[in-house]
Amino acid sequence: MSAQPATARSRPRPSARKRARRRAILRRRLVLAVGLAAVIVAVLALVRPVDHAVQEIALPLRHEDIIRQQAAEKDVDPALIAAVIYTESHFRDQTSHAGATGLMQLMPSTADYIARKSGGTRFTHQDLATPQINIAYGSWYLRYLLDHYGGSTVLALAAYNAGLTKVDAWWRAARARGERFDAARHIPFPETRAYVQRVLQARAQYRRDYKRELGL
């Protein structure tokens, strides 16, 4: 029988040394891939806290447990409560030059009225420094204003800033002319118009960024 042509002969198997070298290369590639994956995971783990920290600086949220509790008890949007606190005090306990106190910047006379209406017989003005009481009273007042204005958030916020008497007058004047109340046209105070807009914008941000924390 004649010998097979050279092209038909089976290829020689690689030597043991070559096979070992290939296995070593594969192991190194696998180690590099695993290491790269670990680096990516670590970077992502660092980025999330940084993003959260930036968010907390730009739009802080504190006392969310109290906000959720009072929102449920008073039937007020928790994002609205958070937005009012942010706009009033940036979640810092402070007293304004006019005497408004605490996170929701309540005037002592307003707090006295709320205490009488809500049964706070042992209330003192010093209690407004307590987040639980300040947010409870501020939420009660928001509910009161919303009810007074038939659920209108714009009117309630305007009254929270400028006072019930002034907003009642603006509201009645608009109604007497047969006009639907519009913040841009019927609020004569630029400060109050800006306040209403800031709170509404902050509420939208809190709804978007703190949905879980506010129980939305």
Please enumerate in sequence order all residues whose Cβ is within 8 A of that of 164, keeping only pairs 6 or more positions apart, or say none: 145, 148
Separation between Cα atoms, residue 177 and residue 136, nearest integer Å: 37
Separation between Cα atoms, residue 157 and residue 198, nearest integer Å: 10
Distances (CA, A) of 212 to 131, 183, 209: 21, 31, 8
- Exactly one of 64, 73, 88, 191 is catalytic; name it: 88
191 is catalytic: no
Active site positions, annotated: 88
